Amino acid sequence: MTAVRPDIAPKQAPEATRFPTGFVWGAATAAYQVEGAAAEDGRTPSIWDTFSHTPGKVHNGDTGDIAADHYHRFRDDVALMKQLGLKAYRFSISWSRVQPTGRGPAVERGLDFYRKLVDELLEADIAPVATLYHWDLPQELEDAGGWPQRVTTDRFADYAAIMAGALGDRVATWTTFNEPWCSAFLGYGSGVHAPGRTEPAAALRAAHHLNLAHGRAIEVLRDQLPAGAQTSVTLNLHQVRPLTASAADADAARRIDAVGNRIFTGPMLRGEYPEDLLADTAHLVDWSKLVQDGDLAAISRPVDVLGVNYYTPTLVSLPEKGESGSGNDVHGASAFSPWPGSEHVAFHLAEGKERTAMNWSIDPDGLYHLLMDVTRDHPGLPLMVTENGAAFDDYVSPEGRVEDPERIAYLHGHLDAVQRAVADGADVRGYFLWSLMDNFEWAYGYSKRFGTVYVDYASQRRIPKASAHWYSDVIRRHALPSAGLS
């Protein structure tokens, strides 16, 4: 392991740039992206195993079979987190590792992995933050219909109970879902994610059932967790902007806000689906049948904190009739739209902005506005930035270093945006960098590196990038550097 490098240590920060007392500093990963050990200790395939093993679905035919081998190397990884000074680690649980068929009794060997991981974290004084679901539905449940089927919410509530029973005494912060928008609309709409279905009506049904499963899991967690444990959900809220000031583009922004954001925040935080969403999608689903009595009360059970993930804003327009719609949607190329009911909206990349290796424009103000918009719409709701970060084309220098000044600049800009939002009244409790280490970036396979720690996949060697040392110093000082790098 490399020691913290003095040459990139920030200068002493003035008092004004310090983060609030208790602000949590973390990094995040997800089970399928880092664990590997895909067929060990009783684990069975999830939809991502099936999808990644299907030719043509993932860049280069990459799979998560080995990934970053976190399953075997978690102790070293926790030691590295400790060395970097992380205060919290956000990980997800592989459902098919602990309950291989998605129903019935748990497999102790699978639970043991998470028990050991959590113990190791607590030993290192790093708070475990567990996400129950980060996109990897057990394949057997997809074979039975997947998220478009209501019965999957029963299975999820059972699984939540198993995990609360196994780890509830040691994990203080629980997240039901990570980015349910991606599960519903990339998984069942555009099909660029597992299970790769392209059925707009099924995508909307999936969204409702993900909402319901969230609410049911919150009830289970609240019943089983000790008082003081925190419950949450993480949403990738789209910071939607109209391309021009025209009424047509304002309508495009409204539509994408409805099916990108308010389809989740409406029922979860207000106990209702937005009327405009219901109207925009009425030709696809009969909402009066889909949403049953008691669903909205279940979905709107209060959470203690809302996780928000942010990478880049979403710039939209409504083309004239006859013009093509899709444009530059950052959610991947597909002949099928992930925006049911609003397939005609066009997506754009902002001019004049720098881009990451994902071709996403770098726009820290988007994070500031997102935090302020949620604060305005849901006053008093504590927020946590549960993912933020960037992929760049990192490489190891002949001296064995990974210099990633673009990532440092990205993180600096976005942490500054968090600070501005806090100063302006947003109750932001913490920040999790995506990602702790390079990993399987879904349909992009291993071609995109989001880690602050470089992973040499051939040897599984970990090399903290310059940004990891920079982040480590930010954590230590609880403040951003006042004047760039020394």
- In the DSSP assignment, the letter for residue 305 is E
Q: Which residue is nearest to ligand IFM (CB)?
A: 30
Kindly tell me which residue out of 30, 161, 204, 220 binds ligand IFM, with binding defined by CB under 6 A: 30
Q: Which is nearer to ligand IFM, 274 or 364 (CB)?
A: 364
Kindly tell me which residue out of 44, 46, 261, 309 binds ligand IFM, with binding defined by CB under 6 A: 309
**Ordered DSSP codes for 233-246:** EEE----EEESSSS
Q: Is 329 in the site for ligand IFM (CB under 6 A)?
A: no
Q: Which positions ≥6 away from 242 have C-beta within 8 Å?
A: 249, 250, 252, 253, 315, 316, 317
Q: How far is the CB of 309 from ligand IFM (least distance, A)?
A: 5
3-state secondary structure of 279: helix
Q: Which is nearer to ligand IFM, 30 or 299 (CB)?
A: 30
Q: How far is the CB of 360 from ligand IFM (least distance, A)?
A: 9
Is 111 in contact with 166 (CB distance < 8 Å)?
yes
Catalytic residue among 35, 179, 406, 441: 179
Catalytic residue among 35, 387, 406, 441: 387
- In the DSSP assignment, the letter for residue 356 is -
Of the candidates 277, 274, 43, the one whose C-alpha atom is nearest the C-alpha of residue 140 is: 43
Q: How far is the CB of 224 from ligand IFM (least distance, A)?
A: 27
Is 449 in contact with 392 (CB distance < 8 Å)?
yes
Q: Which is nearer to ligand IFM, 130 or 278 (CB)?
A: 130
Q: How far is the CB of 440 from ligand IFM (least distance, A)?
A: 8
Q: Is 179 in the site for ligand IFM (CB under 6 A)?
A: yes
Q: Which is nearer to ligand IFM, 23 or 311 (CB)?
A: 311
Interface positions, 411-440, toward ligand IFM (CB under 6 A): 434
User: What is the residue whose two structure tokens read 């994990």?
Assistant: 171
Tokens in use for 306? 């809302």
Active site residue 179: yes
Kindly tell me which residue out of 77, 142, 387, 394 binds ligand IFM, with binding defined by CB under 6 A: 387
Residue 252 CA: distances (Å) to CA of 179, 183, 241, 246: 22, 22, 9, 10
Q: Which is nearer to ligand IFM, 136 or 295 (CB)?
A: 136
Q: Which sign, positive or negative, has the C-alpha torsion 419, 425, 426, 431?
A: positive
Q: Is 441 in the site for ligand IFM (CB under 6 A)?
A: yes
Q: Distance between CA 400 and CA 468 in Å, rounded?
A: 15
The set of catalytic residues is 179, 387
Q: Which positions touch ligand IFM (CB under 6 A)?
A: 30, 33, 179, 309, 387, 434, 441, 450
